[in-house]
Amino acid sequence: MLDTSLLSSVARQMMSADEVEVEGQRLPVRRTSSRRLRMVAFTMGGREYAAIEQNPDKPSQWGQLARSGHEVVQFKDVDSNRFVAVVADGDVKEYGAGEGGGRLPPTGAETWIGTRLVAKLRR
């Protein structure tokens, strides 16, 4: 089970500051090189996660919300390489089995935002 209040807090901080505080630890908000999307890697419940600003150019419902000015942040479990939740304007939605959050496609920009970038953020 995810800590939805922590996810909401990380999303809010990430979208408005250069650092995110998680359990007393200050973590830098970085930007992807291609789209300049905000991103931060953090630990929750002993697992590594990445919070990634939603790409507004994506045709999904989340991309459409981001295009219309809403703050949308996707959360990815680094070990499983699966998106586990999304926060839109502070509201958290956890992805479950079969809800389309799952694995990234094998090609495209999302793959680059995947584990290689998270590994870079851990340095």
Contact indicator for 96, 86 with CB cutoff of 8 Å:
no
DSSP E strand stretches across the chain: 19-22, 25-28, 30-31, 38-44, 47-53, 72-77, 82-88, 91-94
Both structure tokens of 27: 């973590």
Domain boundaries, the chain: 4-122
d(CA 75, CA 84): 6
pLDDT at residue 88, as a whole number: 94
Banded pLDDT at 7 (limits 50, 70, 90) = very high
Write the pLDDT tens digit of every residue in 50-95.
999 999 999 999 999 999 999 999 999 999 999 999 999 999 999 9
